[in-house]
Chains A and B, each alone.
Chain A
Amino acid sequence: MRIIVPIKQVPETGAVRMDEATGTMVREGVEAIVNPLDLYAIELALRLRDSSRSADGEGNHEVLALSMGPPKAQTALREALAMGCDRGVLLSDPAFAGSDTWATSNVLASAIRKLGEFALVICGERATDGDTGQVGPGIASFLDLPLVTYVSRVRSFGPDEMVVERLVEEGHEVLAMSLPGVLTVVKEACDPRLPTLRGKQRARQAELVRWGHQELGLAREKVGLAGSPTRVVRLHRPSVARQCRRLIAADEESAALAVRELVDILRQKNLL
């Protein structure tokens, strides 16, 4: 039984700064990490693998991490291996550059198809850089698989069906999905483990499979910027200014005045 986890390498967005003069992102010195939300997908996959291994003994149980990105995205795959994933596949090709979510889903789905049989694909809820959450559903659609998004808990797993909880605005749904299928998971699903020392050693030596568009049998026009229907046409700093009426409350007395004036304004605006 195989579980596939697509993971993305992203810049540490917390550390991203803007160049105020040019309005562009300062990339120097920004670390590349595994998309933090993908760690939950990895952890869930490892747990499902281990629980089915103990349920039906040694069989062929594996978790395979899959990443599309530049060559350095292999460090993200090695991190996944260090956590306990069994294999890593890197989808790297200059032709993939500039992919939007349609093109990314297409590449990932093609790789998953080429890998052969599997029970489950688990994606993160969204990548912290692109922040779309569209790739998981996109993969399911390309592969014509059932899909459950925002999974917060797995109640039971396999062999032909799994039961999960899905977080929605007003509560959670309990859903049964037939396998194979695709999930996207949220933070509530589990606590990601840290890589072990042994895992890190194994990860360093592990061989990663690397495929480009030819290995995947994808035409150049279907990948990268060429295969992406959307285009970013403009980046700008949001302008948000309103006319602010300032009331200075430097001491008790001026504070009392400021409060009185605020109450008057709220009353005029019919907010009390």
Chain B
Amino acid sequence: MDVDKSKIENRKTQIEASGIWTLAEAAGGKILPVSFELLARGRALAQKRGVRLTAVLMTDRADPEGLEELIQRGSDAVLLVEHPALEHFLVEPHAACLVELIRRHHPEVVLAGATSTGRTLMPYVAVRVDAGLTADCTGLDIEPETGNLLQTRPAIGGNVMATIETPTARPQMATVRPRSTRPLPRETVRRGEILRQAPPAKLASRVRRLEFVPLPDARTIADADVVVSAGRGLKTRQNVRLVAELAEAFDAAVGASRDVVDRGWLDYPHQVGLSGKTIAPRLYVAVGISGAIQHLAGMQTAQTIVAINSDPEAQIFRVADVGIVGDLFTVVPMLTAAIRKAKELNAEDAEERGEKQDKE
């Protein structure tokens, strides 16, 4: 390979911000957490491949602090398009912008969250730029030499994982399951550039947004630090109360396996797993859940996993950090009482410490 030429190529890459791109999502001017998760993924790929990482933000008006946070959480540059037509997600104007940016800068990889936005925008764009697109990835890697993105996702109802490549087409596009990874910590010393980009001349939409109706019940398992989940081992709908009480003691959200939701013991928003939500809480407690592969797909990235199950062979123990092998009807009430007590003690301790400080 011609050395000089590769040097020029490299410089061009830097100026033009090609390399790896991640899509930032914003709502009401605020950057959404999924944007930072994508940067954590992108950072690892960019490092391995030796290229730059760029966050793309299309919005009506960017909040300067949000832009800074995109840099501090991993991006080398932010490609920013501001236009009133980009206030809310509408596929046509957003796609027109992204297509234009891709044609201008030729990124190798474009990642978006597998959110209602990402899953709509990315296939619309992939068709326009003749790119391959892989949905709902849970694992990403890159071959440093070829730059081929190795995209891993559950297939055939979550029974197997498939790894997918796009050997010839560029960019390689993928949507990534939200909460399948953690954002990088904020590094306040990181520096990067904000590259303002003109939107394409035409930003029309044949869809108009008339209204938005927020969910009445905003309490979600997706945002909770601790999730306590109920499985079929609870045997009846009434017994789900045991899990609700344990959750309350932990100040946790209540999750469920699909069997529990299918039986109507809890509603669909509680469902954890392949056809429910993917969550990554600090603590996940599985009560009477066998640990089917489709359930694991939704919670195995939790930091600490505790399982309570009477069957020593249950699959859930394979992913658990702590497993209590025993009858949940004995263990759960005891645990609820113990957690309540531990929290009370904590509160008293805190009060005491507070009093001491007051005296000093």
| Known contacts A18-B160, A175-B207, A242-B318, A230 near B330 by CB under 8 Å | no
What is the predominant secondary structure among interface residues of chain A facing chain B?
Answer: mixed
Identify which of A68-76, A100-108, A211-219 touches chain B. Answer: A100-108
Q: Are B226 and A176 in contact (CB under 8 A)?
A: no
Q: Are B322 and A265 in contact (CB under 8 A)?
A: yes
Q: Are A255 and B330 in contact (CB under 8 A)?
A: yes
- Please tell me if A267 contacts chain B, counting CB pairs below 8 Å: yes
Interface residues of B in 326-356 (CB under 8 A from A): 326-327, 330-331, 334-335, 338-339, 342-343, 346
Give, as a whole number of angstroms, the nearest-CB distance from A168 to chain B. 4
Bound state CA distance, A172 and B216, in angstroms?
Answer: 11
Nearest residue, chain B, Cβ from A125: B119
Nearest residue, chain B, Cβ from A135: B123
Q: B118-144 interface mask toward A, CB cutoff 8 Å, 1 = contact, 0 = none?
A: 011011111110111111100000000
- Please tell me if A137 contacts chain B, counting CB pairs below 8 Å: yes
- Please tell me if B323 contacts chain A, counting CB pairs below 8 Å: yes
Q: Are B323 and A247 in contact (CB under 8 A)?
A: yes
Complex interface: chain A residues within 8 A of B312 (CB): 246
Q: How many residues of B contact A (CB 8 A)?
A: 83
Q: Are A168 and B208 in contact (CB under 8 A)?
A: no
Nearest residue, chain A, Cβ from B346: A272
- Please tell me if B304 contacts chain A, counting CB pairs below 8 Å: yes
Q: Are A229 and B168 in contact (CB under 8 A)?
A: yes
A-B CB contacts (within 8 Å), total count: 251
- Please tell me if B198 contacts chain A, counting CB pairs below 8 Å: no
Q: B152-184 interface mask toward A, CB cutoff 8 Å, 1 = contact, 0 = none?
A: 001111011111111111000000000000000
Complex interface: chain B residues within 8 A of A14 (CB): 157
Q: Are A240 and B296 in contact (CB under 8 A)?
A: yes
Complex interface: chain B residues within 8 A of A177 (CB): 206-207
Bound state CA distance, A163 and B209, in angstroms?
Answer: 10
- Please tell me if B115 contacts chain A, counting CB pairs below 8 Å: yes
Complex interface: chain A residues within 8 A of B119 (CB): 133-134, 137, 149
- Please tell me if A131 contacts chain B, counting CB pairs below 8 Å: yes
Q: A222-258 interface mask toward B, CB cutoff 8 Å, 1 = contact, 0 = none?
A: 0000001111111111101111111111101011101
Bound state CA distance, A116 and B241, in angstroms?
Answer: 57
Bound state CA distance, A235 and B164, in angstroms?
Answer: 9
Bound state CA distance, A166 and B343, in angstroms?
Answer: 42
Complex interface: chain A residues within 8 A of B293 (CB): 238
| Known contacts A134-B135, A171-B214, A247 near B155 by CB under 8 Å | no
Q: Are B209 and A175 in contact (CB under 8 A)?
A: yes
Q: Are A101 and B319 in contact (CB under 8 A)?
A: no
Bound state CA distance, A148 and B121, in angstroms?
Answer: 11
- Please tell me if B282 contacts chain A, counting CB pairs below 8 Å: yes
Give, as a whole number of angstroms, the nearest-CB distance from B218 to chain A. 7
- Please tell me if A65 contacts chain B, counting CB pairs below 8 Å: no
Bound state CA distance, A247 and B324, in angstroms?
Answer: 5
Give, as a whole number of angstroms, the nearest-CB distance from B200 to chain A. 15
Q: Are A237 and B160 in contact (CB under 8 A)?
A: yes
**How many A residues are at the interface, by size bracket?**
35 or more
- Please tell me if B36 contacts chain A, counting CB pairs below 8 Å: no
Bound state CA distance, A173 and B215, in angstroms?
Answer: 11
Bound state CA distance, A243 and B157, in angstroms?
Answer: 26
Q: Are B165 and A263 in contact (CB under 8 A)?
A: no
Complex interface: chain B residues within 8 A of A272 (CB): 339, 342-343, 346
Interface centre among B136, B207, B325, B338 (most CB of A within 10 A): B207
Complex interface: chain B residues within 8 A of A146 (CB): 91-92, 205-207
Complex interface: chain B residues within 8 A of A50 (CB): none
| Known contacts A229-B169, A237-B160, A168 near B326 by CB under 8 Å | no
- Please tell me if A260 contacts chain B, counting CB pairs below 8 Å: yes
- Please tell me if A142 contacts chain B, counting CB pairs below 8 Å: yes
Bound state CA distance, A16 and B157, in angstroms?
Answer: 8
| Known contacts A169-B116, A178-B206, A229-B168, A102 near B318 by CB under 8 Å | no
- Please tell me if A174 contacts chain B, counting CB pairs below 8 Å: yes
Bound state CA distance, A214 and B165, in angstroms?
Answer: 29
With A129-B157, A174-B209, A229-B132 known, 10 other A-B pairs at CB within 8 A are: A13-B156, A132-B123, A133-B123, A149-B91, A169-B115, A178-B206, A229-B133, A238-B161, A242-B320, A245-B323
A-B contact pairs, 28 of them (CB 8 A): A102-B132, A105-B127, A131-B135, A133-B123, A137-B127, A140-B91, A146-B91, A149-B120, A165-B213, A166-B116, A168-B117, A169-B116, A170-B27, A171-B213, A175-B210, A181-B206, A181-B207, A233-B163, A235-B160, A238-B160, A238-B293, A241-B319, A245-B321, A246-B323, A247-B323, A250-B326, A255-B330, A262-B322
